[in-house]
């Protein structure tokens, strides 16, 4: 009789542990996003089998390469508890200057170096202002957003600059005629982010600063230096993302990157990074970007008005944040 009771108790505990495991997985932000991607893929695949084709998945990634690269930099900033909402107009400014160099000099290497260096310098300037002013990064970068927007309009005189196929390889080229070059950059950037956040001292410092900046400062960490370095790295990624976007579109406008600030921040939030800092990962950033891409692609394939995209994304953000909060409460 005792043996039967023990077996019964063991079965109940096993069932309970399996139930808790499922709950923990679903209430984990990464688990929620994986389930969402699978469910969304299954539903759209039944409606339109073209969704499940390998080429379509390549297209989804290729169309969101620039967003993903920008989101990595923004995500690392959010991990430190900071923001940069100027990345979109920074892209517009960098894109205009780069396109003007290509148009007037046709010097592609100079344009590439200029685009990357502009991103690095502008990002570093953002970091210096935020770190040394001690003001809220959201407000500081809001002002910088307007400054870069004005600079893009002034430099371009409100005109756009078509490139007429002079700068196609980075955004449209293929390695061996098969594998898209932009996706190669996308993969390399996420691998780099994973290594930095998981295995380096720099990555550990970002989590420590985001977890408690005052405690990090008191413990002897040079908080300002890490902030400036993170903003500089984010700016460098913005420069790379701008070059890829410019090459893919084949033209630069004064407002080319306007959407990227909020979209990248939204992807970071959907991916599970805490706006209070100290939480986030390269995998979660990747999943957040993929959810964005899948939503846009799915709406197109099932013939739903693409203007519904923002509504659907907004709902996904709200649900993702709620799931993240529930998961955090269970852990505490």
d(CA 315, CA 274): 18
Condensed to tens digits (0 to 9), the pLDDT of residues 132-154 reads 999 999 999 999 999 999 999 99
Domains and CATH numbers, the chain: 61-331 (1.10.3470)
| pLDDT 10s digits, 52-97 | 888 888 888 999 999 999 999 999 999 999 999 999 999 999 999 9
- Other CB atoms closer than 10 Å to residue 162's CB: what's the count? 13
What is the dihedral sign for C-alpha 119, 261, 245, 318?
Answer: positive
Mean pLDDT of 223-247: 97
Q: How far apart are CA 188 and CA 286, in angstroms?
A: 12
DSSP 286: H
Query: pTM for the complete prediction?
Result: 0.88
Asked if the model's pLDDT at residue 4 lies above 60, the reply is no
């Amino acid at each position: 009789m005792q043996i039967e009771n023990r077996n019964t108790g063991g079965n109940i505990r096993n069932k309970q542990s399996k139930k808790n495991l499922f709950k923990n997985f679903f209430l984990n932000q990464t688990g929620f996003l994986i389930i969402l991607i699978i469910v969304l893929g299954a539903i759209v695949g039944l409606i339109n089998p073209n969704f499940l084709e390998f080429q379509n998945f390549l297209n989804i990634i290729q169309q969101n390469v620039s967003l993903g690269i920008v989101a990595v930099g923004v995500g690392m900033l959010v991990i430190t508890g900071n923001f940069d909402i100027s990345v979109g107009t920074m892209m517009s400014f960098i894109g205009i200057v780069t396109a003007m160099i290509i148009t007037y000099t046709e010097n592609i290497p100079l344009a590439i170096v200029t685009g990357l260096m502009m991103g690095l310098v502008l990002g570093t300037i953002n970091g210096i202002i935020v770190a040394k002013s001690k003001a809220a990064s959201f407000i500081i970068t809001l002002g910088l957003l307007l400054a870069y927007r004005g600079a893009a309009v002034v430099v371009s005189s409100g005109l756009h600059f078509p490139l007429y196929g002079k700068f196609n390889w980075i955004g449209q080229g293929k390695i061996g005629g098969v594998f898209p070059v932009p996706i190669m950059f996308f993969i390399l950037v996420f691998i780099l982010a994973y290594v930095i956040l998981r295995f380096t001292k720099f990555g550990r410092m970002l989590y420590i600063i985001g977890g408690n900046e005052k405690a990090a400062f008191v413990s002897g960490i040079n908080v300002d230096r890490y902030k400036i370095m993170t903003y500089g790295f984010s700016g460098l990624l913005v420069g790379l993302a701008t070059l890829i976007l410019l090459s893919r579109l084949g033209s630069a406008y004064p407002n080319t990157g306007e959407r990227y600030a909020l979209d990248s921040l939204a992807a970071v939030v959907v991916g599970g990074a805490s706006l209070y800092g100290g939480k986030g990962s390269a995998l979660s950033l990747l999943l957040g970007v993929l959810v964005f891409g899948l939503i846009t692609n799915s709406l197109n394939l099932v013939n739903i008005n693409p203007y519904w995209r923002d509504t659907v994304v907004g709902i996904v953000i709200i649900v993702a944040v709620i799931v993240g909060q529930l998961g955090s409460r269970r852990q505490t």
